[in-house]
Amino acid sequence: MSGITLADIVKSKIQGKELQTVTVQKQHERIETCIACPHSTMNNKLCGKCGCVIEYKTKFEDAECPIGKW
Ligand code: SF4
C-alpha cells in the first residue's frame, strides 16, 4: 500500500472533488499514532515515508498512512 498523500488530496481539490475532513477526535487519534511511529521526523511534523505534513494530512478523510497504521 502506498497510501493517499497530501499531494494527491490537493490534486483532487484542484480537480473539483469535494474534500471531507475527519472529526477532531479522529485527527488526534491519527496524530497520536504518527507521534508513536518510528517514521515520523522533524519533531513529529513530517512523515518520513510519504513526506506529508502530519498536521494537515491527518485532517482529510481520504488520506491514508502509507504503511496502513490508520
Ligand atoms: S502516516 Fe503512517 S508511516 Fe507516516 S508517520 Fe504517520 S503512522 Fe507513520
Percent of the chain, pLDDT > 90? Answer: 81
Q: Where are the beta strands (DSSP E) in 1-70?
A: 40-41, 46-47
21 CA from centroid of ligand 1 (Å): 18
The helix/strand/coil state of 38 is: coil
Is the pTM value of this prediction over 0.95? no
Give the mutation target among 6, 60, 65, 70 for probing the ligand 1 site: most ligand atoms within 8 A of CB: 65
* Contact 47 CB / ligand 1 (< 6 Å): yes
Q: What is the pLDDT of residues 18-35, one digit of tens each?
A: 889 999 999 999 999 999
Helices (H) and strands (E) in the chain, counts: 3, 2
Alpha carbon of residue 64 to chain centroid: 6
Q: Which of 49, 56, 59, 62 has the most ligand 1 atoms within 8 A of CB, as the residue to mutate?
A: 49
